[in-house]
Amino acid sequence: MNLLSVKNLSKMGREKPLFSDVTFGLNEGEKAALIGKNGTGKSTLLNCIAGVLQSDGGTAVFNSQAGVSFLPQNPVFDPEHTIRDHIFARQGQSAKLAVIREYEEVCEKIASNPNPNPGLEKQFEKVSEQMNEKNLWNYEAEIKSILTVLGISMSAKGENSGMDRKMGELSGGMVKKVALAQVLVEDSKLILLDEPTNHLDMTTISWLEDYLRTTSRAVLMVTHDRYFLDSVCSSIYELEHGKFNHYKGNFSDYLEAKATELEIAQNTERRIESVLRTERDWLMRGPCARGTKARARVDHIHSLINRDKLQQDASFSFEVAGRRLGGKVLVLDKISKNYPKASAVSKNAEPGPVLKDFSYTFKKGERIGVFGNNGSGKSTFLNIITGRLAPDSGTVEAGINTAFGYYEQNPFFADTSLSVLEYLKEVAEHVTRNDGKTLTAAQMLEQFGFEGKILYSPVSSLSGGERKRLYLVRLLMSNPNFLVLDEPTNDFDIFTMSVLESFLQTFAGCILVVSHDRYFMDKVADTMFILEDDGSVSGYVGKCSHYMDYRKEVLAAKAVEERASAEKAAKAVQTEKSAADSGQPAKKKRRTFKEQKEFETLENDIFELEDRKSELEALLSGGESDHEKLGDYSREYSAVSQALDEKYPRWEELAELDPM
């Protein structure tokens, strides 16, 4: 079933068309993405399709039976509305949501009133019947599951708690989660998402990725998360140089197709230039153009000269002659910090341990990523390291030659009346490469997409994303030797992130980075700091994506163990009950010969696996510097841990039986 038909859509920018004659369709279950550089009009196109912005031409028509849900890049909300109000704001357009909201509200009233009045009981019976008639129990369970994953409780009790918190009290990250929840719980067949992963933590992004990949709903989104694009999308639509191009497949397929296109275009360009060299010689000889053939040949030559030239994005790769790091880089000694943690359930968050007795000595060239869920204290950790915030206890001591470059999530601009070029020249006129050559401030800006008139425009005229990009260029121009980056990829397009990755891969100093972009983290960091819920910090040697896979395995094994324990407890209760009912004490069953052999084999296997696990733990913490070996050790450690998790439940079951 066709859900969306876009025909000849166009929109003018400040100086030229952002896009024109955009035509495509979206079918049920299809997952598509809009990609392109910042400023090419991706969000504008999505807003035109959603009806938030008026297009200058063309149409976007939705199937009347589909229903559409839209998540804007910056969610719009009433600060006085509660979370419940916002999530169920469109209940008037969905009879299902209206019934579920009424059911949840009645349940909360009954839960808070031990002696409900007959009117409330009658309302409960009526709405329960409606839930049965419309078969909404599974839908309600799905809504609860979505809200729980996003950290929103439908059943929290107490004044101004849970769903009754006001939107104006929430952090930016939680506002994004609530807005996302609103889109996901709606009964629609088409979802439009503008930068859905911004301000979300990696755990939530991983869950959202799985949800969108497996849902039967169609999706059209704007995102710069490359793993997300690879995992979810079956179609890529690209806005480039005012053109709208369609590529079948995911992001990897798109990259292959683009590489092929570029190779063909370059070969064509070389052939044209070869022909033109010959034709220019002919023109220079001054042929008579009075004949029809001669005139046609001259016209053809001019058409080749005036053709649309092949447009290629400038490649960017250089090594800066960086500032030297001393023998002592940065030493953290038993630092601790208690800080109120973000929560959707409690209005007044109680101070909790963000860091607890953490010590670490940084060495030259280390590249460390910081992992933690929203509210775990990642930004607090960076602020303590860079001296913006004092720890409650412990010391932070930087080396005499250590020069921090701190990229903050929300950079401050003291004077926005300065031009873009003046703002950069306040720090440096040029940067020196390792080969001795220099890049001027203007050349550096050009590499990051600032060129032409924008160099002389005031900073105040830039968009939020452009300001962040400018702040990043200034930071790199200041020539630090210890880069601390807090969510540097928010609001950056894939091109800018590639430029930054290229720079960081040749950066000789230390890097400490927080980012929700797993692809970026894999490129930049080779070790992880994991901020745990209790304030401790654990380490993981390997890429971020490897840690995410390892974490999923651990959580899955834990869930299996908890389920096995619950089943075992339930079985024990049932056995005791049966024994009590019969008046006889419960007798333990003896192992059979086969079970005895299995028990002995399991015992030997477990001893061997535990020994190997101890060996691997020693290898992982033994200072090995070969990342390939460490990766092998880490993967084997995960496999051994999983094998133990699988064998323990059966061993415990057999251990409960009497020997034969």
Mean of all residue pLDDT scores within the chain: 81
Return the closest-CA partner of residue 406 out of 528, 519, 513. Answer: 513
Range of 56-65, 139-148, 338-347, 577-586 with top mean pLDDT:
56-65
CA 369 – CA 486 distance, rounded (Å): 10
Q: How far apart are CA 267 and CA 571, in angstroms?
A: 72
Looking at residues 341-345, what average pLDDT do you find? Answer: 48
Report pLDDT digits (tens) over 301-323. Answer: 666 666 655 555 544 444 555 56
Is the pLDDT reported for residue 591 higher than 80? Answer: no
SS3 percent helix, strand, coil of the chain, rounded to 5, is 45, 20, 35
Q: How confident is the model at residue 585 (pLDDT cuts 50, 70, 90)?
A: low
Report the percentage of the chain scoring pLDDT > 70: 82
Confidence of residue 434 (pLDDT cuts 50, 70, 90): low
pLDDT of residue 346: 45
DSSP for 12-33?
Answer: E-SSSEEEEEEEEEEETT-EEE
This prediction has a pTM of 0.71
The stretches of 460-592 forming alpha helices (DSSP H) are 464-477, 494-505, 518-524, 544-582
Model pLDDT for residues 93-131, shown as the tens digit of each residue = 677 888 888 887 888 777 777 677 778 878 888 888 888
Taking CB atoms within 8 Å and a gap of at least 24, the contacts of 40-46 are: 40/239, 40/240, 41/11, 41/13, 41/239, 42/222, 42/239, 43/73, 43/194, 43/195, 43/222, 44/11, 44/18, 44/19, 45/9, 45/11, 45/18, 45/19, 45/239, 46/192, 46/194, 46/220, 46/222
Per residue in 369-401, pLDDT (tens digit) is: 999 887 788 989 999 999 999 999 999 999 999
